[in-house]
Amino acid sequence: MRDNTHFGFREVPLGEKQALVDDVFHKVAQRYDLMNDLMSAGLHRAWKDALVTAINPPKSEREFTLLDVAGGTGDISFRTIAAGGPGTRATVADINADMLGVGRERAYAQALDDVVTFVDANAEALPFPDKSFDAVSIAFGIRNVPRIDVALKEMHRVLRLGGRFLCLEFSNVDVPGLDALYELYSFNVVPALGRVVAGDAEPYRYLVESIRRFPRPNAFADMMRAAGFARVSHRVMSGGIVALHSGWRL
């Protein structure tokens, strides 16, 4: 039997999904953050602010290390550095060289290349020792990992005892009327924006479709518990468009 996974609404062999995801982000890397603004009407900034608030880096000189998985352009890491004190450091892990390249350029331009490190890494096999980081985050990236259960176990492994895992991901709109509007916007407006701004609608059609395949919050919470996380919780934002998932290594 072939081991298949969903790529958007298509069925593809699990082994091929990573290559397809890589191609998507290769195509959109240079305009990824601009498209995030357009796709979310700027709301992604508020969602990321909520994530960084939950990461809660200390304002003092106390050492605090964040690992941001699938964070190629560095957005979450830069925000965390800005929110924290002199002891805050961040490592960006991403499998896509194009996204990492954009992130490194931005870190250099903002004189943050001494506090933000970029590492070419697969979320399913993180190249870090056990219990290395005070916090681990992933924003809008977990749904694109071929084996989510494996990645969750890896993120749990590299988290220090008492450390927190935070996952920001699209969810399921639960407001009557808004759900139909959101569906119409997602499958018609977003790919059209991708065609105009990034020159290709297909990557954005995939990004929209992949949202529909991601487990609902309670099911994802069960996956987090299976990976070893404790005190698992989530809160939905913007009518259920996104959810912020939290778990601890205790």
Q: What digits encode the pLDDT tens for the residues 32-67?
A: 666 666 666 678 889 999 999 999 999 999 999 999
Q: 87, exposed or middle or buried, with CB in 10 Å at 0-12, 13-18, 19+?
A: middle
pLDDT tens string 117-140: 999 999 999 999 999 999 999 998
Largest interatomic CA distance in the chain: 54
Please indicate, yes or no, whether the overall pTM of this predicted structure exceeds 0.85: no
Query: Has residue 82 got a pLDDT over 80?
Result: yes
Neighbours of 165 (CB within 10 A): 26
Distance CA 6, CA 17 (A): 8
Predicted confidence (pLDDT) per residue in 86-113, tens digit: 999 999 999 988 889 999 999 999 999 9
- Given a cut of 50, whether residue 12 has pLDDT beyond it is no
* Predicted local distance difference test score (pLDDT) of residue 2: 30
Is the alpha carbon torsion for 228, 90, 62, 246 positive or negative? negative
Topology, domain 4-20+41-170+214-248: Rossmann fold (3.40.50)
Contact 125, 95 (CB under 8 A): no
Residue-range domain boundaries for the chain? 4-20+41-170+214-248
Alpha-carbon gap, residue 191 to 47, rounded angstroms: 22
Note the pLDDT of residue 239: 87
Which run of H or E residues covers position 63?
A: none
